[in-house]
Amino acid sequence: MKCVIVQPIHACGLETLRAGGVEPLIAPSTDLTELAPLLKRAAAAITRNWGFPQAAVDLAPDLRVLGVHGTGTDRVDRQALTARGIELVSTPGANAQSVAEHALGLILAVARGIPGGDQAMRQGDFGFRETFRGVELSGLTLGLWGWGYVASALAPLARGLGMEVLVWSAHADDSDFSSRGIARARSVAHLLEVSDVLSLHGRPGVAPVLGASELSRMPKGAILINTARGALVDEAALAAALRSGHLFGAGLDVLIQEPPGPNTPLHGCPRLIMTPHVGGSTEAALRRTAQAVATQVVSALLAAP
């Protein structure tokens, strides 16, 4: 049995596949012409943020299982998999702690202007300390839009800084909130209106959840953080809110297009920190996630008739 590794995973995942009798086939890129000869031979595939479109499914006549290295399956053509009876497995929670820590890092970096301060020092501009005024986070409200593995790991980190935590979730249990000393927002509007820092942790739908109307409801001087999905945010509306000064700043680890194109409205925005989708890219998280997805792929292949 062969498994195409569409995007790189930690070596321990490859070892897990081999131990289970599955030969990993390492793809040189996500270009379909290069994937085609590998997928033609494969019973399984493991992908990351590239997803798995209909065209890739069509190139894999013997595919029995698709593994997603991570939580998000929004870039996978699930309808195409279902039509062929191909099993889909993923690893929710495997990298949650690392992503939560990255979200906290973005909050601190934006609030205290850390990248700008570093650049100023390298350029000999010690006057930065007089021109930039950071934000003290203690006593402010962190709003969490969504309540999953990452949000529930981020909440205690923020409380450790002295922040109040408010959550909007249509599914979470109130008892889970009260036991952690955090509050539930009455509505999306309530969350937006009182969040000094808003961190997104939901799943994208047909349209972004955060557009011009939603951004305008946030307090002037608020900070936006997104480590979930780029599609959650209207990037043009965010750029406008940053340029107008309505938002103090933003930290993004995910974008609609990765890497961003030359025409993205985000280029040159003030107090915007962007990282290249590295929230889950710690050694510990990569090991856990690779081993988890490889284990599930092996189990699915062995269980298949």
CATH superfamily name and code, 2-94+283-303: NAD(P)-binding Rossmann-like Domain (3.40.50.720)
pTM: 0.89
CATH code that applies to domain 96-274: 3.40.50.720
Topology agreement, domain 2-94+283-303 and domain 96-274: yes
Q: Report pLDDT for 305.
A: 66
Evaluate if residue 159 carries a pLDDT over 60.
Answer: yes
pLDDT digits (tens, 9 = 90+) for 250-278: 999 999 988 898 999 999 999 999 999 99
Q: Kind and range of the H or E element at 176? A: helix 174-180
Site of tokens 């702690």: 97
Q: Give the largest Cα separation in the chain, rounded.
A: 69
Cβ atoms within 10 Å, residue 175: 8
For residues 128 and 115, what is the distance between their CA atoms, to the nearest angstrom? 12
pLDDT over 80 at 72, yes or no: no
229 is catalytic: yes
CB-based contact 14:294 (threshold 8 Å): yes
Average pLDDT over residues 92-96: 92
| 71 token code pair | 């939580």
**What pLDDT does 177 receive?**
85
Secondary structure E strands in 202-298: 222-226, 247-252, 272-274
Confidence (pLDDT) at 71:
80
Percentage of residues of the chain with pLDDT beyond 90: 86
For the chain, domain boundaries:
2-94+283-303, 96-274
**Catalytic entry in 23, 34, 136, 258:** 258
Q: Which of 102, 201, 229, 288 is labelled catalytic?
A: 229
> Is residue 23 annotated as part of the catalytic site, yes or no?
no
